[in-house]
Structure 1
Amino acid sequence: MFKTLTTTLLTCSLTILCTLQTLAQTTYCNPMDIDYKYNFEQLNENISYRSGADPVIINHKGEYFLFVTISGGYWHSKDMLNWKYLTANRWPFEDMCAPAAVSVRDTLFLFQSTFESRPILYSVAPEKGIWEFYNRWTPRLPKDIGPWDPALFHDPDTDKWYMYWGSSNVYPIFGSELDYSKRLAFKGDYKAMFWLNQYDHGWERFGPNHSDPFKPFTEGAWMTKHKGKYYLQYGAPGTEYNVYANGTYVGDDPLGPFTYAPYNPVSYKPGGFATGAGHGNTFQDNYGNYWNTGTTWIGLNWGMERRIVMYPAGFDKDGQMFANTRFGDFPHKMTTKTWTGKGDEQFTGWMLLSYKKPVTASSTMDTMAAAKITDENPRTFWAAKQNKPRESLTIDLGGEQEVKAVQVNYTDYKSNIFDNKPEKVYTQFKILTSKDGKKWESAADLSNEPKRDRPVAYIELAKPVKARYVRYEHIYVASPVLAVSEFRIFGNGFGKAPTTPKSFTAVRQKDARNVDLKWEKVPVATGYNVLWGIAPDKLYQTYQFWHDEPNAFELRALNVGVPYYFRIEAFNENGVSGMSEVVGIK
């Protein structure tokens, strides 16, 4: 009896400890820290990797539900920080690609991408995984049109229903009204909403940094109604590039006509670690704040290997839609109130401490060197000789810094995992810190938490730690090879922030979709943010550069016939400089 009581008390203590640690987490960091799933895409090439794309987050009765391409289920959260994976009593006969979801009154509706007859599901208890068939929806569409990448929209002011869809570099985004009296069958004909126009819209051009002449793709429709205007959003130009983004057309009616927004793209993150922000959705949290989700690119095992991101978003006083990707893959505070402006106050100010810092590893497989875990590139990685406990990575920050959070990004290298059994697929590790490299203290220990898979594990430390050395100590990962693409450390140094870059210029080319940017480097900078937009007070776009990259860049994302304005700032471990003067071009 005493042994049983002791075991019970120990279990309760660990549960309370884990609960307190969870409650203490107040920040998040992109890519999102969820248990991404191994999926059927890997069967095509017999390669094994975790992935997630095409996110839809729905606020349903004050709680949040996340649906992701081919994940075998979905996620539920009450705070947008802690996400619990759920499976359903009913699920399509094959897994869902690019699902659509909408909350209407007490019901959550769910529909998958399809070219054939598929049902719309509904649930009044999605937090319990209980779903029912709403209909046996049969599209009356020609071959190849879909509805692929669908979006369901309910207009609360008219009580009318609509569907939008499209995923193609041939066809446009389509739309149609649905007939609620006939279980959401088409009401009348569907029609084209708009096509891509890469000849006038620089950001819609295909390839890395919009450099490929291949015809671009549009996909990922989503509709948001704001102050009587209808914002029909879409992803372009292709998911497997750093410039994957979300744009919008605006209209006075759910089926248009729609006008191209001259400030596009809305959500754009071509630089930094988590690049790409396209094909997501826009939703409001419980405080009325808007968020924009998207797909960030990994592309190591296959071009469609991806992760999920979310950014503060909104509409300014003129109705311009925006998403804030400035420092978008650095830690941000989770919202607890209605924010002002464009959500800049959600940035914690915790800077990246680990960029290109020296690393030592307990062992190294072949040429997959430890230095690759600090290069801010998810497609390079370190691999240990063996996947065994106590393998380690140690980063020397070069001096004592205040460490506040870490992010561990795993790589699926030569993985042989083709299921998601929780007793097998989970991750565990420890984070240790030291001031001298000799005496080590524990900063985080995932073996004290319930087992779960965290291929993008973000750990906010319970309290800041002053340290020069930070160590990842391995415990368990399911893959046969222990591989880490990035071990990112966040906090603040004790030195000075960089000065504002000088001689910043922006010269528009004869091809008005392009502009040449140039600036003087700041010696103590880690990197730079170029901010731009269609007015001096609307600099909603950000392109991040590293200090060791060239200080001249051809930005190929502009819209023809639209004037632009630019500023630049520098950042390092200690903070962010002031902004340069605004530079305008016509």
Structure 2
Amino acid sequence: MKNLLLRPITFAMLVLGSLACSEDEVVEEYIPTIAPIYSADPTIFQHEGIYYLYGTVDNDPNTGFEVYTSDDLVNWEGPAGENGGLALHRNNVYGDQGFWAPQVFERDGVFYMAYTANENIAIATSTSPLGPFTQENQVAIAAPVKQIDPFVFFDDDGKVYLYFVRLSDGNKMYVAEMTEDLMSIKEETVQLCIEADQPWENTESANWSVAEGPTVIKHNGKYYFVYSANDFRNPDYAVGYAVSDSPTGPWIKSTSNPILSRNTVNENGPGHGDIFSDAAGNWYYVLHTHFNSSRATPRKTAIIKAEFVSGDNGEDDLVFYPEEFRFLEK
């Protein structure tokens, strides 16, 4: 019994002693830091249970592309690229400025990155989603005019298409078949898909209208073309979509456009992203928004839940859920 009584008394004395010491010492509590991810024109690629986030680096768009990783779309780490956080560095590829809007995909064990540099489109490859993405022949895809914002789409029949923006009397979106090596396009197959010709797509009545950031998915035999419109610095930068029976069009714009705007998520300039699905098959759209209400850059990265729902005409509608919009943090 004596030992049992002494133990609590001794413990109390130790506690009082430590409290006395604390008056002269500052005890620092470790609190994990959480910061927004600033990755514009973002895309998310999933491979073996890991999600890889790539995008334009607003504060240094002339060096390459960072990559962040997550296993749950909530907790992100990085930059995690093999080249000082970069998955692609300009020293290894075509271009020396304006690295914008990457897209990553895989074919036959090789990882490809389609990207913009010097207002041209190029394709680099790697053995890992973390990079380094390189080009043995450091050239852009040949084109008669400047072109940006690539998106590569694999159709069920084996054909591969490149959707992209050409800078000619406005930002207009086109499609073309790709060659077998995925390094160029068949220029004779180029077709116009979408241009900004509706009021919501050009709220400033600019002489140079803008439709950009294409991403295409196939659902129930229909092709859904998701895109952004207006200059990205315009708070009215927003997202719409069009539907077709063919990967080359013609495209019919949804009467619900814009399906994502500052009016739906209370953030200026939401757009230019990529549709993707998680491991459970749920659809999401990753995008960027303005930095705040008075400044566009650096743009913040966010995701929003997406879903196909039955429409009035027997065709499924693509909808975004504003209540499931959230910014990505690291």
**TM-score (norm. length: structure 1):** 0.43
2:163 is matched with which residue? 164
Name the structure 2 match of 1:87. Answer: 81
Letter of the structure 2 residue corresponding to residue 131 of structure 1: F
Q: Does 1:287 align with 2:280?
A: yes
User: Separation in 2 of the partners of 1:275 and 1:171?
Assistant: 21
C-alpha distance 272-77 of structure 1, shift in aligned 2 (>3 A):
closer
Residue matched to 1:240: 233
1:151 corresponds to 2:151: yes
What is the deviation of 1:140? Answer: 2.6
Mapped contact 1:153–1:161 kept (Cα < 8 A):
yes
Q: What is the Cα-based RMSD across aligned positions, in Å?
A: 3.1
Q: Secondary structure at the match of 2:272?
A: coil
Q: Counterparts of 1:117 and 1:244 in 2: how far apart (Å)?
A: 23
Counterpart residue type for residue 104 of structure 2: A
Aligned pair in 2 of structure 1 residues 167, 268: CA closer, same or farther (>3 Å)?
farther
State the match for 2:3 in structure 1: none
1:119–1:135: 8 Å Cα contact kept in structure 2? no
In 1, Cα distance between equivalents of 2:201 and 2:115: 26
- What's the counterpart of residue 143 of structure 2? 141
CA contact (8 A) 1:161 1:184 kept: no
Per the alignment, do residues 138 and 159 of structure 1 end up closer, same or farther by CA in structure 2, a change over 3 Å counting? same
Q: Which residue of 2 aligns with 1:214?
A: 206
Q: 1:65 aligns with which of 13, 35, 52?
A: 52
Contact 1:119–1:133, Cα closer than 8 Å, also in 2: no
Aligned residues of 2:44 and 2:54 also touching (Cα < 8 A):
yes
Output one character per residue of 1:333-383: Cα deviation in whole Å (capped at 9) or x when no partner. Answer: xxxxxxxxxxxxxxxxxxxxxxxxxxxxxxxxxxxxxxxxxxxxxxxxxxx
Q: Deviations over 1:399-441 (max 9, x none)?
A: xxxxxxxxxxxxxxxxxxxxxxxxxxxxxxxxxxxxxxxxxxx
Paired residue for 1:258, among 245, 251, 259?
Answer: 251
Give distance in 1, aligned partners of 2:262 and 2:124: 34
Distance 1:87 1:248, change over 3 A: same
SS of the residue 1:186 aligns to: coil
Letter in 1 for 2:197: N
Residues 202 and 210, structure 2, Cα contact 8 Å, conserved in 1: no
Distance 1:326 1:137, change over 3 A: same
- 1:88–1:191 CA distance, 2 compared to 1 (3 A): farther
* 2:129 is the counterpart of 1:126: yes
Number of the residue aligned with 1:319: 316
Per the alignment, do residues 272 and 266 of structure 1 end up closer, same or farther by CA in structure 2, a change over 3 Å counting? closer
CA distance in 1, matches of 2:252, 2:265: 31
In structure 2, the gaps of 5 or more residues are 1-29
Pairing of 1:534-553 with structure 2 (within 5 A): none
Which runs of structure 2 are paired with 1:38-437 in the superposition (5 Å)? 52-70=39-57, 72-84=65-77, 85-89=79-83, 91-93=89-91, 94=96, 96-104=99-107, 106-114=109-117, 119-127=122-130, 129-133=131-135, 136-143=138-145, 145-146=146-147, 148-155=148-155, 157-166=156-165, 170-180=170-180, 182-189=181-188, 190-198=190-198, 202-206=199-203, 212-215=204-207, 216-270=209-263, 273-298=266-291, 303-317=296-310, 318-326=315-323, 328-329=325-326
What are the equivalent positions in structure 2 for 1:443-462 lying under 5 Å apart?
A: none
Specify whether residues 308 and 261 from structure 1 end up closer, same or farther in structure 2 by C-alpha distance, changes over 3 A only: same
Q: Is the 8 A contact 1:134 1:183 kept in 2?
A: no
TM-score (norm 2): 0.73
- Give the conservation status (yes or no) of the 8 Å contact 2:43–2:54: yes
CA shift digits 1:95-142 (9 cap, x unpaired) = 621112223454431121145776422233224x34343764542322
Paired position in structure 2 for 1:350: none
Please identify runs of 4+ aligned residues in structure 1 that moved more than 6 A.
Answer: none
In structure 1, the gaps of 5 or more residues are: 1-16, 23-31, 37-51, 207-211, 332-455, 459-586
Paired residue secondary structure (1:321): strand
Pair 58,214 (structure 1): closer, same or farther in 2 beyond 3 Å: same
Q: Is the 8 A contact 2:270 2:287 kept in 1?
A: yes
Cα shift readout 1:214-255 (whole Å, capped 9, x = no counterpart): 243111111111122111221112222332211112112211
The total of aligned residue pairs comes to: 278
**Any idea what SS the aligned residue of 1:281 has?**
strand
Cα contact 1:118–1:137 (8 A) shared by 2: no
Q: Aligned AA for 2:285? A: N
In structure 2, how many angstroms separate the alpha carbons of the residues matched to 1:126 and 1:82? 18
Q: Deviations over 1:188-210 (max 9, x none)?
A: 42221121112xxx32132xxxx
